Chain A
Amino acid sequence: MKLKDYQRLTGAIALIAAVSTMTVAGCGRGRDGASHGGASTGITDSTITLGITTPLSGATAGPGTCTVAGIKAYFGAANAAGGVKFGDGKTRKVEIKSLDDAYDPQKAKANYDQLKGSVFAMTAGLGTPTNRAYRTAAISDKVPQVLVMTGDPIFNDTSQSPYQLSLVPAYPNEGEAFGKLLASSGTAHKVAVLSQNDDYGQGYVEGLKKGIEGASNIKIVKELTYEATDTSVDAQITELAATGADVMFNAMSITPLAIASLQKAQQLNWKPSWFLPSNTSSPAAILKPGNASAYPGVYSVSFAKAPASPAFANDPDVKKFLSDLKQYGSYNETPAFPHCMWSYMAGAILEQAFTKMTEPTRDNFMKALRGISDFKAPLMLDGTSVNTSVDKQPAVSAVVVQKYNGTGYATVENFG
Chain B
Amino acid sequence: MGQFIQLVVDGLSNGSIYAVLALAIVLVNQATGLINFAQGGMAVFSAYITWLLTEHGLSLILAILLSVLASFVLGALVERLVMRRFERGDPDTAVVVTIGLLTLITGICGWLWTYNNQQFRSLFSLTTVSIFGAAVSIRSIGTFAVIAVIMLFLQALFLGTKFGLALRAVAINPKSAALSGLPVGRLLMAGWGLAAALGAVAGALVAPQLTLTPGMMDTALVYALAAVILGGQSSPVGVVVAAWLIGVVENLAAVYVHFIGYDLKVAVPFILTFVVLVVRPQGLFGRKVVARV
- Interface of A with B (CB < 8 Å)? 56-59, 61-62, 64-65, 197, 224-227, 229-232, 234-236, 238-239, 242, 255-256, 259-260, 263, 266-269, 285, 289, 333, 336-337
User: Which segment of B174-182, B185-193, B197-205, B207-215 sits at the interface?
Assistant: B207-215
A59–B218 CA distance with the chains assembled, in angstroms: 9
The interface size of chain B toward A, counting residues with CB under 8 Å, comes to 38
Contact A59 B215 (CB under 8 A): yes
Q: Are B215 and A236 in contact (CB-based, < 8 A)?
A: no
A231 touches B117 (CB 8 A): no
Using CB atoms, name the residue of chain B closest to A282.
B117
Contact: A235 with B119, CB < 8 Å? no
Our pick among A62, A226, A229, A268 for the contact of B135 (Cβ within 8 Å) is A268
B116 lies within 8 A of A256 (CB) = no
Contact partner of A62 (CB less than 8 A), chosen from B11, B117, B262, is B117
* Among all A-B residue pairs, the 9 with the closest Cβ atoms: A61-B115, A234-B10, A256-B211, A235-B251, A255-B117, A62-B115, A267-B128, A238-B6, A62-B116
Q: B7 touches which one: A56, A62, A238 (CB < 8 A)?
A: A238
- The CB with the most chain B CB atoms within 10 A, among A64, A231, A260, A285, is that of A231
The distance from the CB of A281 to the nearest CB of chain B, in whole angstroms, is 14
State in angstroms the CA–CA spacing of A229 and B222 once bound together: 11
Q: Which residue of B lies closest to A225 (CB)?
A: B262
Q: B137 near A: Cβ within 8 Å?
A: yes
Question: Which partner residue on chain B sits nearest A55 by CB separation?
Answer: B115
Evaluate contact between B6 and A260: CB separation under 8 angstroms. Answer: no
Residue of B nearest to A194 (CB): B262
Closest residue of chain B to A234 (Cβ to Cβ) is B10
Contact A57 B255 (CB under 8 A): no
Closest to B119 in A: A289
Tell me the B133-149 residues at the A interface (CB within 8 Å).
135, 137
Given A197-B262, A231-B220, A234-B14, CB of A239 within 8 Å of CB of B114: no
- Cβ-neighbour of A336 out of B14, B116, B215, B255 (below 8 A): B116
- Closest residue of chain B to A235 (Cβ to Cβ) is B251
Give the distance to chain B from A290, nearest Cβ to Cβ, in Å. Answer: 11
Interface of B is mostly: helix
Q: Contacts A62-B115, A267-B126, A267-B137 given: A259-B211 contact, CB under 8 Å?
A: yes
Task: Enumerate chain A residues within 8 angstroms of B117, measured Cβ to Cβ.
Answer: 62, 255-256, 285, 336
Which residues, 235 to 293 on B, are CB-close (under 8 Å) to A?
A: 251, 254-255, 261-263, 266
Q: Is B17 an interface residue (CB 8 A)?
A: yes
- Say whether B263 contacts A227, CB under 8 Å: yes
CB neighbours (8 Å) of A57 from chain B are: 106-107, 110, 115
Of the candidates A56, A65, A224, A333, the one whose C-beta lies within 8 Å of that of B262 is A224
Choice from B213, B219, B255 contacting A235 with Cβ under 8 Å: B255
Using A197-B262, A242-B3 as known contacts, say yes or no to A230 and B211 having CB atoms under 8 A apart.
no
A-B contact pairs, 26 of them (CB 8 A): A57-B110, A58-B215, A62-B114, A62-B116, A62-B213, A65-B115, A231-B14, A231-B210, A231-B219, A232-B14, A232-B17, A234-B13, A234-B14, A235-B254, A235-B262, A238-B3, A255-B211, A256-B209, A256-B210, A256-B213, A266-B126, A269-B135, A289-B119, A333-B114, A333-B116, A336-B116
